[in-house]
Chain A
Amino acid sequence: GAVVSQHPSWVICKSGTSVKIECRSLDFQATTMFWYRQFPKQSLMLMATSNEGSKATYEQGVEKDKFLINHASLTLSTLTVTSAHPEDSSFYICSARGTETQYFGPGTRLLVL
């Protein structure tokens, strides 16, 4: 099956710093990628849809100035958490749209101290 990678797999940062997470589709081109956040024992919550070459579409309640998304190529989307705070600590998962389904990355665990 298709492979989607994320980097880093986990990150610890100080409050107020910015963190960039990369999502790559390794063996297929993805014009559309999705970013989710998942809190412990909770479901995946869609944050935004990333479209190659255009602005991301954010879900209601997600601050676009805080969660910057860039989809510069058909295989790479990045999520930057700006001025991170402890409440941003979560598991961030990306997915890439394939022909019949979406393929998820392994996730990035963010801990903001």
Chain B
Amino acid sequence: QKEVEQDPGPLSVPEGAIVSLNCTYSNSAFQYFMWYRQYSRKGPELLMYTYSSGNKEDGRFTAQVDKSSKYISLFIRDSQPSDSATYLCAMGISTDSWGKFQFGAGTQVVVTP
């Protein structure tokens, strides 16, 4: 069983809709949670970074962490065609091991005009 599970999609939504993404994990030691956006043939770009349970908002993006359920979510409001990309979740135990964070397989999102 993978430590991090993420539905690969694709997830297709109309422009302006809310995109809802999630990941589940099995390792209760994970403390740091991140969401990355990756455009085709490009490296991942950090979108959100959270440490504790609860919500964190940044513009159109909201990240949620529920440690009791081992479940994290990313919501994108007022989605735009430029949001079409693959979204990767990542999580780790400590900031001493940034590179060893476990990544989900990524969810492909398509926002149609």
Q: Which of B62-70, B72-80, B96-104 contacts A (4 or more CB under 8 A)?
A: B96-104
B106 touches A97 (CB 8 A): no
**Cβ of B105 under 8 Å from chain A:** yes
Contact with B along A90-113 (1 / 0, CB 8 A): 010101010011111111010000
List the interface of chain B (C-beta within 8 A of A). 4, 6, 8, 34, 36, 41-46, 49, 88, 95, 98-100, 103-106
**Cβ of A54 under 8 Å from chain B:** no
A101 touches B100 (CB 8 A): no
Tell me which residues across on chain B come within 8 A of A104, comparing CB atoms.
36, 43-45
List the interface of chain A (C-beta within 8 A of B). 1, 4, 6, 32, 34, 41-44, 46, 49, 91, 93, 95, 97, 100-107, 109
* Contacts A43-B88, A101-B34 given; does A107 touch B42 at CB 8 Å: yes
Tell me which residues across on chain B come within 8 A of A93, comparing CB atoms.
43-44
* Contacts A44-B88, A93-B44, A107-B43 given; does A101 touch B98 at CB 8 Å: yes
A101 touches B46 (CB 8 A): yes
> Closest CB-CB distance, A60 to chain B, in whole Å?
12
A101 to B99, CA, bound (A): 9
Closest 6 CB pairs of A and B: A34-B99, A104-B43, A43-B103, A43-B105, A102-B98, A106-B43
